[in-house]
Structure 1
Amino acid sequence: MTIWNEISPTPFRVEYADAAGVPTRTLRAGDPTAQAVVFLHGTSGHLEAFARNISAHAAYDLHAVDMLGHGYTGKPDKPYEIADYVTHLVDYLDAVGVGAAHIVGESLGGWVGARAAVEHPERVLSLQLLCAGGTVANPTVMDRIRTSTRKAVTSDDIELTRKRMRLLMADDADATEELVAARHAIYHTPEFVAGVDNLLSLQEIERRQRNLLRPEELGRITQPTLVVWGRQNPFGETPEATAMHEAIPGSRLELFENCGHWPQHEQAERFNALSLEFIAKAAG
């Protein structure tokens, strides 16, 4: 079973949208007349993180996006802060004619989605925060992300990419060799190598602190919100999820056992059912 077997037989296309001058790789699938669902990946990730979720969500107008500076999307030469990612997200929605979308954000993608929900509430129909970052600044975790990513990018040794992918998962088997190969290829494009420190800039304590989602900011989120967390998440303890849930009015918290940082991938069947039920309810 490959990534593309998992997506097929759902009709899809991979294309580039011009998001205010930033060429943005996107996988499009589903019903263009339905409400939009946008998948946003984590730090140093790419749209393939949602390969196991595309077909399940094909009743919607589906967009899996390589975020600013990530994957094969354009890489402006500056350190990226959350405001930059939010601007890129809104520019992408404008470029493809989507007024508002259900945002499904994993890790960094959840951080961006939450900030977008606060600053552009009219563009966010509902919010899913999957092991979302952005509420704490833990130097140990930040160093783990920065060090493991830079090692994998600056060395041709694919084993370092494999270790970086396995770090995300509770079970090494979920870091499939195809995912490893896809990420290794992205990590070693000249553009990615040149810009890796820009996308790791939020692992610097001062920059991260000024970008954090504070409880009062989370309290301003009015959209239906689902928080999903893996109990074996290597980048955040379960109390982070609980605090996020308690800060967001009316939110729902789901904890996945035997799960790391990619609940949408590691436990795709459970996640897809949960996500579809949540979106359907949010959509009325």
Structure 2
Amino acid sequence: MTAAIRVEDIAIGGGRHLRVNQTGTLGAPALLLLHGSGPGVTAASNWRAVIEGLGDTFHCVAPDILGFGDSSHPDPQPQGFAAQAEVRIEALFQLIDALGLEKVVLVGNSMGGMYSLRMAQLRPDLIDKIVLMGSGGMPGLEPTPELIKLITYFDDPTVEAMADLLIRFVHDKAAFGDTVEAVAAERMPIVRRPWIEAGHRAMFGPEMLSFAPEDLAEIDKPTLVVHGRQDVIVPLECGHYLAEHLPQADLYVIDKCGHWTQIEQAARFQSILRTFVEN
């Protein structure tokens, strides 16, 4: 059985809103699922299968982060990754308040993992547990060629370039080629919105969001670090770094899997997520 997804725009103040996908019921353990970056990304394209599969047990909340998808966008755009993160994270805290959630389990994919760590620094009282999937955040980590393709996508913003970029997110390209093409087509109408390109270009600058060992040592929350062994967007080295320095972290490495563990290993990811949260 899959849970029906409820989609609505939730006001967060200042005339802004976040587009939010929800399953499950208020009062169940709340999972706040934060998508990664990339051109045209939305919560639905990252999390649809996960929130359908887990809505029987949890209250799943998957927003388009501020500046992405059908959510409002900052105007003017903050310049740099860290500056964008602060504005977007404040909007996520406003969403938590608007929904009346007392505590959440943060489930962050890539950029969403980095935002999860920062949220746990700023408001540890709101955070129950953390799940990081292919998360960045390691100081001094050099961008891979595949990540550079993501950063420079708007130099050639075609559907062919989108499909060529997204196929790199999975390890088994033969098995998931059709899925990737469907996601690419879904993203293109969003990519063509001018504020999406403006936000993308504003985000990727020299000032990134990273966490020194002493920063991670202060995030004393049960944490599951999930990483695909063949991830070429954010290398496995980063997963090892986070697991080593977070005081309550377990590391789960999935073989024959790239950056999108929730898509390429969907059943396994949902199973380990369910077990980690319930136990």
Question: Does the Cα contact within 8 Å between 2:6 and 2:22 map onto a contact in 1?
Answer: yes
Tell me: CA distance 1:148–1:221, structure 2 relative to 1, closer, same or farther (3 Å).
closer
Which residue pairs with 2:130 in the alignment? Answer: 127
In structure 2, distance between residues paired with 1:92 and 1:24: 8
Rate the CA distance shift 1:130–1:140 in 2: closer, same or farther, 3 A. Answer: closer
Q: Specify the code of the residue in structure 2 equivalent to 1:46.
A: T
Distance 1:191 1:137 in 2: 29
Q: Give the SS at the match of 2:49.
A: coil
- Judging changes above 3 Å, is the alpha-carbon distance between structure 1 residues 154 and 97 closer, same or farther for their aligned structure 2 residues? farther
Label 1:95 to 1:187 Cα distance change in 2 as closer, same or farther (>3 A): same
Deviation for aligned residue 1:191: 2.4
* Aligned: 1:39 with 2:43: no
TM-score of the superposition, structure 1-length normalised?
0.87
Q: CA deviation at 1:182?
A: 1.3
2:93 corresponding residue in structure 1: 90
Structure 1 vs Structure 2: percent identity of aligned residues?
A: 26
Report the AA paired with residue 171 of structure 1. D
- Cα deviation per residue 1:212-241 (whole Å; 9 max; x = unaligned)? 111111111121100000011112332221
**What is the DSSP-based 3-state SS (H/G/I as helix, E as strand, rest coil) of the residue aligned with 1:135?**
coil
* Cα deviation, residue 28, structure 1: 1.0
Q: What residue number does 1:219 align with?
A: 217
2:10 to 17, 37, 50: 17
Show CA shifts across 1:61-93 (max 9, x none).
Answer: 110111121122111122252322321211111
Q: Which amino acid aligns with 1:159?
A: E
Where does structure 1 differ by over 6 angstroms across 4 or more consecutive aligned residues?
Answer: none
Q: Deviations over 1:109-141 (max 9, x none)?
A: 010001111221011111000011111343443
Give the corresponding residue for 2:24.
30
Do the aligned partners of 2:225 and 2:250 also contact (CA within 8 Å) in 1? Answer: yes
1:148 pairs with 150, 156, 159, which one?
150
Q: Is residue 196 of structure 1 aligned with residue 200 of structure 2?
A: yes
Which residue matches 2:161? 160
For 2:249 and 2:71, the matched residues in 1 are separated by 32
Superposition RMSD in Å = 1.9
Matched, 1:114 2:110: no
| CA–CA distance in structure 1, aligned partners of residues 157 and 109 of structure 2 | 27
SS of residue paired to 1:43: coil
CA contact (8 A) 1:149 1:164 kept: no
Residue of structure 2 equivalent to 1:183: 187
Aligned residues: 266
- Structure 2 counterpart of 1:161, which letter? M
Unaligned runs of 5+ in 1: 1-7
Match of 2:169, SS?
coil
Residue 55 (structure 1) aligns with? 52
Return the letter of the residue paired with 1:174. F
> Could you state the TM-score of these two structures normalised by the residue count of structure 2?
0.89
Superposed displacement of residue 40, structure 1: 0.4
Q: Greater shift after overlay, 184-193 or 265-274?
A: 184-193
Q: Which residue of 2 aligns with 1:3?
A: none
Q: CA deviation at 1:270?
A: 0.5
What amino acid does structure 1 have at the position aligned with 2:196?
F
Structure 2 counterpart of 1:148, one-letter code: L
Q: Which among 225, 231, 250 is matched to residue 229 of structure 2?
A: 231
